Amino acid sequence: MLCHFQDEHSNLFYEPIQKQMKKPWIIITIALVAVLIIMQFFQPAKNIAKAATTDDIFFQVQCDQLVKKNLVTACYDCHSNTTRYPFYSRIAPVSWMMARHIKEGKEHLNFSEWGKYEKKEQLKLLTEICDVVTEGEMPMKSYTLMHSSAVLNPQDKEDICAWTESASEEVFSK
């Protein structure tokens, strides 16, 4: 017959081990909180222009009000010199990810700098706008999850593509 023997001395051995096992988790938690707090002091520059310039696409190409509204709502935060920042954009590392998305978006297409693009580049970009909107690549899913107003319905996509065609004709005729 097996007998489980436990006296008051056996707990003296296990208690220090249990306390030592809890210590690293406390230290790791405190270190993570400290790192998160320190990260908040390193914020990226904001993408906020004082005013639209004549290089903005809407000064360069005719655009229907509804299409303009959809482009501003779904595209301008990452593809212009003016971003509307939500409350969570001040929290690192989210602020860093947003800054990277905006930088990459503006490198590919910047509506605020449209007038500085050569005609050939403008025509290529107008075609790409229709393509990425139609294929659902833009706006990005991660963006529409947080900005439900940026979701484009099929009619919005058709309107944007129709506008890119007329805008291409306008650019080509200049």
For 77-111, the pLDDT digits (tens) are: 999 999 998 888 888 988 898 899 999 999 999 99
133 Cβ partners below 8 Å, 6+ apart? 152, 157, 160, 161
pLDDT of residue 157: 97
Domain boundaries, given as residue ranges, for the chain: 13-42, 57-173
Quick check: 71 and 160 in contact, CB under 8 A?
yes
Handedness of CA 157, 161, 162, 163 (dihedral sign): positive
71/49: higher pLDDT: 71
- Quick one: tokens of 120? 């050939």
Q: What is the pTM of this model?
A: 0.77
Burial of 144 (0-12, 13-18, 19+ CB in 10 A): middle
pLDDT of residue 135: 96
Other residues' Cβ atoms within 10 Å of the Cβ of residue 97: 13
pLDDT of residue 3: 52
- Mean pLDDT for all residues in the chain: 87
- Quick one: tokens of 105? 């978006």
Distances 7 to 4, 11, 12, 14, 19 between C-alpha atoms, Å: 10, 8, 10, 12, 20
Residue 10 scores a pLDDT above 90 = no
Mean pLDDT of 63-68: 96
11-60 confidence digits (pLDDT tens): 555 555 555 556 788 888 888 888 888 878 888 888 787 777 899 999 99
- Quick one: tokens of 16? 């220090």
pLDDT of residue 5: 52
